[in-house]
């Protein structure tokens, strides 16, 4: 069965410092992995995805994520945090050749950047 875990409910970082939001997954076969961001009372916005190839994926707003197959992880990173990065972040996974419905979202991590 597919699953995705975001082990931290909240991450607090000072502005200008690097940030990491953790995600681990479980899926049969090769995964497709996604990160989304949600601002208060808004829908989710797509940040980046891993399909195949280079393990380091670059996305919107300076975010990047590293796919690590051996650790089944897809952590979201940014070298220098901004206050405007404060939001709720969701990791999602879908197995190769799975149906369109079989995307599983994590429970979300709230990122708080202090000035």
Partner 1 sequence: DGGITQSPKYLFRKEGQNVTLSCEQNLNHDAMYWYRQDPGQGLRLIYYSQIVNDFQKGDIAEGYSVSREKKESFPLTVTSAQKNPTAFYLCASSPPGIASYNEQFFGPGTRLTVL
Q: Does 72 bind partner 1 (CB under 8 A)?
A: no
Contacts of 64 (CB under 8 A, 6+ apart): 48, 56, 57, 58, 76, 77, 78
Q: Does 15 bind partner 1 (CB under 8 A)?
A: no
Q: Does 107 bind partner 1 (CB under 8 A)?
A: yes
Q: Does 97 bind partner 1 (CB under 8 A)?
A: yes
CB of 70 to partner 1, least distance (A): 22
Q: Does 89 bind partner 1 (CB under 8 A)?
A: no
Among 22, 49, 75, 77, binds partner 1 (CB under 8 A): 49
Q: Does 61 bind partner 1 (CB under 8 A)?
A: no
Contacts of 63 (CB under 8 A, 6+ apart): 35, 47, 48, 76, 77, 78
Structure token pair of residue 103: 């995307």
Among 1, 43, 53, 70, binds partner 1 (CB under 8 A): 43
**Please, which residue, 19 or 48, has the CB nearer to partner 1?**
48
* Residues contributing to the site for partner 1 (CB under 8 A): 9, 32, 34, 36, 41-46, 49, 51, 90, 94-103, 105-108
């Amino acid at each position: 069965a597919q699953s995705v875990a975001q082990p931290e409910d909240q991450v607090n970082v000072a502005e200008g410092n690097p940030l990491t939001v953790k995600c681990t997954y479980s899926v049969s076969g090769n995964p497709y992995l996604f990160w989304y961001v949600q601002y208060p009372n808004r829908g989710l916005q797509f940040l980046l995805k891993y399909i195949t190839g280079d393990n380091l994926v670059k996305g919107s707003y300076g975010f990047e994520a590293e796919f690590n197959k051996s650790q089944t992880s897809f952590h979201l990173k940014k070298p220098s945090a901004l206050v405007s990065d404060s939001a709720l972040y969701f990791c999602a996974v879908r197995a190769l050749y799975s149906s369109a419905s079989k995307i599983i979202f994590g429970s979300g991590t709230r990122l708080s950047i202090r000035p």
